Amino acid sequence: MSTLTDPEHKNRAENICARLLNEMHKLGFLPEQLAQAPSFEQASLETSKDPYSGQDTFCLYWKDRRGHRIGEMKFHGDGSFYAEYDVVQPHPKDPRWFVEGVVAWGRDGAIKSEPKLFPALGD
């Protein structure tokens, strides 16, 4: 992987952003209920070295208006990736759950995703 600005890698990152957003929509969140949606254009880009493999890891980070990190996506040199985006709201359809965030992971063209749910606090 050369850089995240290459059209192929940018497209891959955009597909992962779409998958994260789809997870939020599957839970029942409407666009106006989300403070911000994961988007490639709104992410800051950084490169770091994987301490185990020594290969470059490309990182995208999302921050809220106050500068607090609300998500990240990491592309590893072996073709794998992991993404996480904060939701931090009660489940819109099931009061038994609190949605911490959504995650996506995979390798190359394969993307898997799921919500991060916690039991809601009782009365």
pTM: 0.88
Q: How confident is the model at residue 123 (pLDDT cuts 50, 70, 90)?
A: low
3-state secondary structure 49-117: ECCCCCCEEEEEEEECCCCCEEEEEEECCCCEEEEEEEEEEECCCCCCEEEEEEEEEEECCEEEEEEEE
Q: Are 49 and 56 in contact (CB under 8 A)?
A: yes
Q: Are strands 80-90 and 110-119 parallel, antiparallel or unpaired?
A: unpaired
Spatial separation of the C-alpha atoms in residues 106 and 6, rounded to whole Å: 19
Inform me whether the pLDDT recorded for 2 exceeds 60: no
Question: Which amino acid is it at 113?
Answer: S
Write the pLDDT tens digit of every residue in 15-60: 999 999 999 999 999 988 888 889 999 999 998 888 888 888 899 9
pLDDT of residue 3: 57
Q: How confident is the model at residue 94 (pLDDT cuts 50, 70, 90)?
A: very high
Q: How confident is the model at residue 1 (pLDDT cuts 50, 70, 90)?
A: very low
